[in-house]
Structure 1
Amino acid sequence: MPFLLRVELPDVPGSLGRVATAIGEAGGDIEAIEIVEKTQHGTAVDDVLLEMAPGTMPDSIVSACSQLDGVRVMWINRYAAGGNLFLDLEVVEEITAHPEEAHHRLMRLIPVSFRVDWAVRLRRTDGEVSLFDHTEAAPDFVEWADITRPTRLSGPDDNLVLCGVPVGEDLYVMGRHGGPEFLDSELARIGHLVNLATSITAAAAMAAEQSTDD
């Protein structure tokens, strides 16, 4: 099974090559890399999808990377979402191709595009909260949060990392077991895609209404 490594490294030429070499020497085979964030402190955060050679342990990869100057392993875990990273552009293409169900399509793509274990869309009507949409691994109950922008949320325990994104009267909530914490760049990306899905759905509804009137 693939592993996903999140690593912070200096944002200078050659840094990623050093990390890739260290991973290879430790028994890891890189399948894909995505830049998650570039900070104001001269560092970058990358997600690295890799396969392990037989007998290789994640600790070996962590140790090899950590020995490099300025490199910090933020998180490593098994990655069951498939053999590739799903880019935001692919999400946009999918929800644009199916405008009437843009939010539903987005919900199904959130786990692979943001490396979360589950996602739900909550709806609050007359004070009652219901699970309007969800991925397969979502829990039966997720607590509502009164927020006005994409926000990190407190989970029921330290092992569950959450974030929420409001959309109209609804609320998206996404969870990761064991981390990593949601970065500011991830919150911005999730918020953008949720808002885009809303705009696409509204445009499709308006077009359908105009077609009916004609």
Structure 2
Amino acid sequence: MMLRLRVSFPDRPGALGQVARVLGTLGADILQVTVLERETGRAVDDFTVSWPGAADADTVRDRLSVIPGIRVEAVWPTREIPGAAPDYDLLKHVAADPGRAFATLVDAAPDLVSAAWAVAVSSGTGELVHRSWQAPASLDEAGGLAGVKSGDLTPLRPSTLAVGRCHLMSLPVPAAGLHLILARTEGPSFHRAELDRAIRVVEIVSILGR
């Protein structure tokens, strides 16, 4: 099965290799490593791995956490294709059909940051305008979001929000009068590096879609 592991470890020479060796001894095939953070003497990386069998998240976490200095922040299933470039693919489709720029953004955005689904809502009314195929028909049907205030979902600045077990990222798209909302229903909260990546893509899509 395909898993994504968010691992924090000491930022020192050889530490990344140690994590890789341990994953190898557990039978995991590392398909991709994404660097998220290098601060305060620690590193945070996301590992996309092919794991033998149907190992549960607790088993993976327990086996890695016995290594001194390593902290497993999250383990969750993923559909991402290692080595793919979803941001480039998205921008290619937007450039080919600028009239559908923001619908294309919603459809493709989940793959940018390992989210489960995305919707676009009107910044003024909170009305759902477009949704990815995985998204609920309305935000009231989304697990744990019923009753959440519209203002919490459409802040003035890009932000992240946790609602129950659902982690949200909300990005204003002023050029279209919309907010792009992405949801991660399994796994950790969105990292600042993921938020920054999504912000840059939204900015470029807004320029192309004018």
Shorter-chain TM range is 0.7 to 0.9
Q: Deviations over 1:128-158 (max 9, x none)?
A: 3322111112122235334121111242xx2
Question: Where does residue 182 of structure 1 map in the other structure?
Answer: 190
Task: Please name the residue that 1:159 is paired with.
Answer: 165
| Structure 2: distance between partners of 1:13 and 1:139 | 45
Letter of the 1:181 counterpart: S
The corresponding residue for 2:99 is 100
When the two structures are superposed, what TM-score results if normalisation uses the length of structure 2? Answer: 0.81
SS of structure 2 residue aligned to 1:195: helix
- The one-letter code sitting in structure 2 at the alignment partner of 1:113 is L
Q: 1:179 to 1:160 in 2, by over 3 A?
A: same
For the aligned residue pairs, the C-alpha RMSD in angstroms reads 2.3
Question: Which whole-Å CA distance do the structure 2 matches of 1:97 and 1:73 have between them?
Answer: 41
Task: Give 1:45's aligned residue.
Answer: 44
Corresponding residue for residue 2 of structure 1: 2
Shift, 1:97, TM fit: 4.4
Compute the TM-score of the two structures, normalised by the length of structure 1: 0.80
What is the rounded CA distance, in whole Å, between the counterparts of 2:171 and 2:16 in structure 1?
32
8 Å contact 1:121–1:131 — kept in the other structure? yes
How far 1:56 moved relative to its partner?
4.2
Mapped partners of 2:67, 2:94: distance in 1: 40
Match runs of 1:38-187 below 5 Å: 38-54=37-53, 56-79=55-78, 81-84=79-82, 86-87=84-85, 88-124=87-123, 128-142=125-139, 144=150, 145-155=153-163, 158-168=164-174, 169-187=177-195
- Structure 1 letter corresponding to 2:206: T
Distance in 2, Cα, partners of 1:89 & 1:72: 32
Structure 2 unpaired stretches of 5+: 140-147
Residue matched to 1:19:
19
Task: Note closer, same or farther for the CA distance 1:38–1:124 as it changes in structure 2 (3 Å cut).
Answer: closer
Report the AA paired with residue 74 of structure 1: E
Residues 30 and 132 from structure 1, CA distance in 2 versus in 1: closer, same or farther, beyond 3 angstroms? same
Question: Gapped runs of 5+ residues in structure 1?
Answer: 203-214
Identical-pair percentage: 27
What's the counterpart of residue 29 of structure 1? 29
Partner-residue secondary structure (3-state), 2:110? helix
- C-alpha separation between the residues in 2 aligned to 1:74 and 1:58? 11
The size of the alignment, in residue pairs, is: 196
How many Å separate the matches in 2 of 1:159 and 1:152? 13
Contact 1:23 1:61 in 2 (8 A): no
The whole-number CA distance in structure 2 between the counterparts of 1:85 and 1:91 is: 15
CA distance in 1, matches of 2:202, 2:118: 12
Structure 1 CA distance, aligned partners of 2:99 and 2:16? Answer: 41
Q: Distance in 2 between matches of 1:61 and 1:188?
A: 29
